[in-house]
Amino acid sequence: MSEFWRLGEATVKTIMGALEDKQSWQLTTVQTLINRLVQKGALGRRKEGREFVYAPLVEQSQCTHAASRSFMDRVFGGKLAPLLATFIERQDCSPEDIAELKKLLEDKTHAPRK
């Protein structure tokens, strides 16, 4: 999806070219992944000549939130504190990282509830 967000829209061939330095996937693997994303409603497609052109139907922030939420639910029983504790305990946190986390928590504490 990151390549579609970056490019806006692309063909399978374009995605293969964009991934060649990052992944050694076969064409059929990329096509299968794209087809699954179309089925899930994450990508739309239109026919141009003999090819399909695909474009993202969801925002990157939506996917990031959904994936993060799913991970937190599956691995940490939906609890945020153990997730954060695991990352903080196992990562090298710079003083800047810690200050940023504190600011995020402080801002969240004083933000109006939705």
Check if the beta carbon of residue 43 is closer than 8 Å to that of residue 37.
yes
Could you give the CA distance from residue 26 to residue 11 in angstroms, rounded to a whole number? Answer: 15
Domains of the chain: 2-56 (1.10.10.10), 60-110 (1.10.4040)
CA proximity to 17, closest of 8, 1, 30, 36: 30
The per-residue pLDDT for range 90-113, each reduced to its tens digit, is 888 888 998 998 999 999 888 887
Residue with tokens 């003083």: 95
Q: Which residues of 76-94 are buried (b: 16+ CB within 10 A; e: fewer)?
A: eeeeeeebeeeeeeeeeee
C-alpha R_g of the chain: 19
Q: Model pTM?
A: 0.69
| pLDDT tens for each residue of 22-68 | 888 899 999 999 999 999 999 999 999 999 999 999 999 998 999 99
